[in-house]
Amino acid sequence: MLALAEKWQPTSVKGGPRGLILAARDAHDAKKTIETVEYLREHSPALDFKSYLVVVNKHGSNENQLAESSNDINAAVSGYIGESRIVTMPDSFVDADKDLASSHFDLLSLIHRAREEYHGIDWSIEVSRFLSPLRTATLLYSYRSGIEAFCLLKNPDKSEDGIFASGLDPSKHRLALPNREKLDRIREILSTDSIHKHVFTAALAKGDADNPGTILSSKLNHENRMYEWNRKKLQDDHPMRWSDMTEASQRQEMSKKRNTGIEKGAFEEHKESFILTPEGFVAAFFLSPMGE
């Protein structure tokens, strides 16, 4: 299924009507069914989608119970957002009591079937409500197919139940997960050994306790030149500390490798500064040998 996700592309152009694949963990009773509607109501400002496909995923039910639960949830959700916005498909559920391979196959088959049968919809996946054993499958499918995956975040200032205004733009409640292009860029940075010290040092300077937000430079005699900053801040035996170099070698190490970092996506375009991209920050985390 993952190979098929990568090879198959919808005939419609990207940018058509947007649809969301949303999981429901609900049991087969009225209280739990209503929880899906409450979830949509709570997050509705951040959900700018025209169509919704609800996938029931849970333990402890047979297929008849899962099918009945799926029908009840679709009826409840359509009553809230309108019947025309609900995408209904046979067997829109996953029995999490099956072995993991079978559960993953059922889920990925359902997602792929939705993309094929409703190829005019530009689908996204909200992953947080999938059961944790199934979440990996949704993320892998998203990565292979290139469709958007994200999590919805609750108001961190409210611990009690209910719906509260956060005061934030709705988009701030959606945590976009890195797509294939970004993950490949992180992998490329990590595989380029020659810029590891530059990426690590730039991130260390950005989070410096004495001067947070420090941006290092490749320019000779700059007060925050990367080479000198690195040697001043790191201990002699630190694996990310540069050894003593001639001035000519320093210039090459600072300028040439900064350009390499820009080419690999670790740094933003700039004539002398080491400004990390989001992918560069993530790569720096993996490069940290001592948890800095």
pTM strictly above 0.85: no
Q: pLDDT tens digit string along 189-232?
A: 999 999 999 999 999 999 998 899 999 999 988 999 999 999 99
Whether residue 182 lies inside any domain: the answer is no
pLDDT at 10 over 70: no
243 and 203, same structural domain?
yes
196 and 164, same structural domain?
no
26 and 132, same structural domain?
yes
pLDDT range class, residue 5, cuts 50, 70, 90: low
The per-residue pLDDT for 28 is 47
* SS3 (DSSP) at 35: helix
169 and 89, same structural domain?
yes
Burial bucket for residue 178 (CB in 10 Å: 0-12, 13-18, 19+) = middle
Whether residue 292 lies inside any domain: the answer is no
Total count of domains within the chain: 2
125 and 35, same structural domain?
yes
99 and 76, same structural domain?
yes
Mean pLDDT of 244-259: 92
Whether residue 167 lies inside any domain: the answer is yes
197 and 144, same structural domain?
no
Out of 119, 145, 177, pick the residue that ends a domain.
177
